[in-house]
Structure 1
Amino acid sequence: MPVCVLVLKDWSDAASLQTKLKAQALPLLQSVLVPPEGGDGQLPDEGDGATGLQCELIDRVELLNPNLARQRRQRGMARWLMPFGFLAGLTFTQITTLETFSALGTWAQPMIGGLLGMGSGLMGSYAAAASVPSDNEDGVRILRNRHQEKRWLLLLETPTGIEPPWQLLQSARPIQVVRLSEL
């Protein structure tokens, strides 16, 4: 899905661009306005074009926060690695003649091995999720720097195969347009 983020001077530029996009009936999967840092995250109460514009803090937008993407990857990997770790620990305990936890009984020893394997799967999901870099790191770093410079960010995500209307976006006179790699 093509994603582009426009860096704008103020919210009125974003609101007027949003009304133009609605007039063109462009199918947008996501249209999120990120207020500058230090703001309260609320749009001014003027009502001219701000209706329907979703306003979010930068730390809540997954495309602009690498930590959220990493947490999502970790949860997905844990969903697979923990059951396989349990089975591996259970199998390892059964096929070896080690009796590390023999004092707990014949049923508890394989279960302890399975639980230790599940814990290893959980640790592996954290390590694997942290080791995968994002393709968008440079673009996200640029956008977070502009956000700290008290600039408004407008994130637009279009469906696969549909390009954003570049001429219309340039007519809003953004300070910068950052195209994040397709997801």
Structure 2
Amino acid sequence: MNYLIAVLKDRIEAEEAYSSLEREGLPMDKVSILGKGYKSADEFGLIDPNLEAKKQMRGLAFWTIPFGFIAGFAFNLQTGLEIVEWAGSLGNHIIGGIFGAIAGAMGSFFVGGGVGLSAGSGDALPYRNRLNEGKYLIVVRGSETLTKQATRILRQFEPENIQGYVEPRSL
């Protein structure tokens, strides 16, 4: 499946572009307008970078927190550090493990969350930002021929940005 996304500055321009696509005979079930009064980014299915970051954070925490506990426990076992006097030997090893688990949680938060925000959204974040600025998106999905025809039509409106995408084939 091919996608074409054009960013237009206001509602009037988006409606004119939509009407022009309709006049040229494009199947209108393949054309969507995103913006105020039309579909939202969530309704269309643009990835929310915050949700992606949380998902990546949870996935990383699944491994880093237990590994951090084991590493902290083992480090305290090897070094014999006395963190608190009254806890005894086993208690200090467990406290070392807890500190290691905390370090693992911090790693998953900063690395998993940061990477999820910066890389997990792909181009969805800039499009969401443009929608938040009050701009409109025209999205055409279909065959390569359809998106090329739509590109030719939409270029007449001098969109702020026009970008084509090809959905990767799933195995």
Identity %: 24
Matches within 5 A, 1:19-98: 19-21=28-30, 34-36=34-36, 39=37, 43=38, 55-57=39-41, 63=47, 65-98=48-81
Question: Tell me, what secondary structure is at the counterpart of 1:13?
Answer: helix
Which runs of 5 or more residues in structure 2 are unaligned?
9-13
Q: Is the 8 A contact 2:35 2:134 kept in 1?
A: no
Tell me what 1:50 maps to: none
**Which is richer in helix?**
2
- In the alignment, the residues of structure 2 paired with residue 2 and residue 117 of structure 1 have an alpha-carbon distance, to the nearest angstrom, of 47
> What is the aligned-residue RMSD (CA, Å)?
4.3
Greater Rg over alpha carbons, structure: 2
Shift in Å at residue 4 of structure 1?
Answer: 4.8
- In the alignment, the residues of structure 1 paired with residue 71 and residue 32 of structure 2 have an alpha-carbon distance, to the nearest angstrom, of 44
Question: What TM-score, normalized by structure 1, do the two folds share?
Answer: 0.57
Deviates more, 1:1-10 or 1:83-92: 1-10
Is 2:136 the partner of 1:151? yes
- In the alignment, the residues of structure 2 paired with residue 19 and residue 96 of structure 1 have an alpha-carbon distance, to the nearest angstrom, of 69
What do residues 48-100 of structure 1 show as CA deviations (whole Å, max 9, x unaligned)? xxxxxxx4446x9553x443333332222212211110110111121111121
Shift in Å at residue 179 of structure 1?
Answer: 4.1
- In the alignment, the residues of structure 2 paired with residue 3 and residue 125 of structure 1 have an alpha-carbon distance, to the nearest angstrom, of 34
Which runs of 5 or more residues in structure 1 are unaligned?
22-30, 44-54
Q: Is the 8 A contact 1:147 1:153 kept in 2?
A: no
Question: What TM-score, normalized by structure 2, do the two folds share?
Answer: 0.60
- In the alignment, the residues of structure 2 paired with residue 111 and residue 33 of structure 1 have an alpha-carbon distance, to the nearest angstrom, of 57
- In the alignment, the residues of structure 1 paired with residue 88 and residue 133 of structure 2 have an alpha-carbon distance, to the nearest angstrom, of 59
What do residues 100-139 of structure 1 show as CA deviations (whole Å, max 9, x unaligned)? 1341244332222111111100111122235544387677
Q: Indicate how the Cα distance of structure 1 residues 131 and 93 shifts in structure 2: closer, same or farther if over 3 A, else same.
A: same
- In the alignment, the residues of structure 2 paired with residue 128 and residue 164 of structure 1 have an alpha-carbon distance, to the nearest angstrom, of 41
- In the alignment, the residues of structure 2 paired with residue 93 and residue 120 of structure 1 have an alpha-carbon distance, to the nearest angstrom, of 14
The aligned length equals 153
- In the alignment, the residues of structure 2 paired with residue 106 and residue 32 of structure 1 have an alpha-carbon distance, to the nearest angstrom, of 65
- In the alignment, the residues of structure 1 paired with residue 140 and residue 84 of structure 2 have an alpha-carbon distance, to the nearest angstrom, of 55
Tell me what 1:13 maps to: 18
Q: Indicate how the Cα distance of structure 1 residues 68 and 164 shifts in structure 2: closer, same or farther if over 3 A, else same.
A: farther
